[in-house]
Amino acid sequence: MHKEPLYSLKGKSVWVAGHRGMVGSAIADRLGKEDCEILAVSRREVDLRRAEQVEAWMERMRPDAVVLAAARVGGIFANDSNPADFIYDNLMIEANVVDAARRFDVEKLVFLGSSCIYPRLAAQPISESALLSGPLEKTNEWYAIAKISGVKLCQAYRRQHGCDFISAMPTNLYGPRDNFDLMTSHVLPALIAKAHVAKEERAASLDVWGSGLPRREFLYVDDAADAVVHLMKHYSGEEHVNIGTGVDLPIADLAQLVCDVVGFRGALRFDVSKPDGTPRKLLDVSRIAELGWRPRVSLEEGIERTYLWYLQNQAGPRVRAHVEA
């Protein structure tokens, strides 16, 4: 059922800020199916942390719409180890892009946040109304504060200037073009890289960080991209909207599923010297379902597609994993 869009992308120019990242590139691909012009600029040409460079780009290109998918992102270890980078870069990027979008009359902007904005112990599944209702998870509170500020920026510019700026809160995303570096990545790509090398090296076991007990929800990046475009067309409001599958699983089960897909038959070893992070962050996805959107790619199929991409693009001697020989 495709009701008339609130905002039509037909004939519009859409700037995808962060077009080279996993999410930004998937959104650019998905926008390729719309009758719109996609604008992109490299980090070398425009450093989004510098207001004057963002303004010059916006004045020159004057996009009709903006997808703000540019961010400094990383897994639990990267967040925990680089708090200043995560809060500064993300605050500067969102403040510069949102303010320039208002000044150059952008008709529609969608800001991409993350499910880590919610309190560490929010009631599960987490509804949008749980925002700011309790303390944050310590390992990524810097990134979370920056992303919460992004949501507030969009709300404030809607209130004061009437801007049609919306916020989307995706759950943990994964897929092609993800970061597979074992120290800075998220769990799913890290497990794919580890399982692949463990299989190639006939290792006895594979290291999983933490206890394996935390639960996580995973959405394939092409589904996330489709949801973002759906919200651009069909949603206009102050409150952010969760994007997810509504299903989660323990990290230990995820690790076993990845090993099954990759074909590694060794044991899992749980390294409890590494942080577990928040025990659970399952999103309540009833609002986006009411807006007519549902995910399509199952976790197993998504892992298969991601592993295929990894084999075609990343696998090779330079992938060093911390596996038991």
Does 102 participate in binding ligand GFB (rule CB under 6 A)?
no
Size of the site for ligand GFB (CB under 6 A): 24
- Among this protein's residues, is 118 annotated catalytic? no
85 contributes a contact to ligand GFB by CB under 6 A: no
Based on the shown chain and the rule CB under 6 A, indicate whether residue 218 belongs to the binding site for ligand GFB: no
Q: How far apart are CA 221 and CA 225, in angstroms?
A: 6
d(CA 193, CA 106): 40
Taking CB under 6 A as the criterion, the residue among 28, 31, 68, 190 binding ligand GFB is 190
By CB under 6 A, what part of segment 237-256 binds ligand GFB?
251
- Selecting among 7, 88, 118, 143, the annotated active-site residue is 143
Task: Decide whether 208 or 229 has the Cβ nearer to ligand GFB.
Answer: 208
**How many Cβ atoms from other residues are within 10 Å of residue 251's Cβ?**
23
Is residue 149 a contact residue for ligand GFB (CB under 6 A)?
Answer: no
Inter-axis angle of helices 221-234 and 22-31, nearest 10? 60
Stretch that binds ligand GFB, among 59-67, 74-82, 126-134, 300-308 (CB under 6 A): 74-82
Which of 24, 63, 175, 210 is close enough to bind ligand GFB by CB under 6 A?
Answer: 210
Residue 80 or 164 having the CB closest to ligand GFB: 80
- Regarding 186 and contact with ligand GFB (CB under 6 A), the answer is yes
Sign of the Cα torsion 38, 168, 110, 83 reads: negative
313: helix, strand or coil? helix
Helix (H, G, I), strand (E, B) or coil at 173: strand
| 123 or 183: CB nearest ligand GFB | 183
Is 114 among the residues that bind ligand GFB (CB under 6 A)? yes
Catalytic center residues? 143
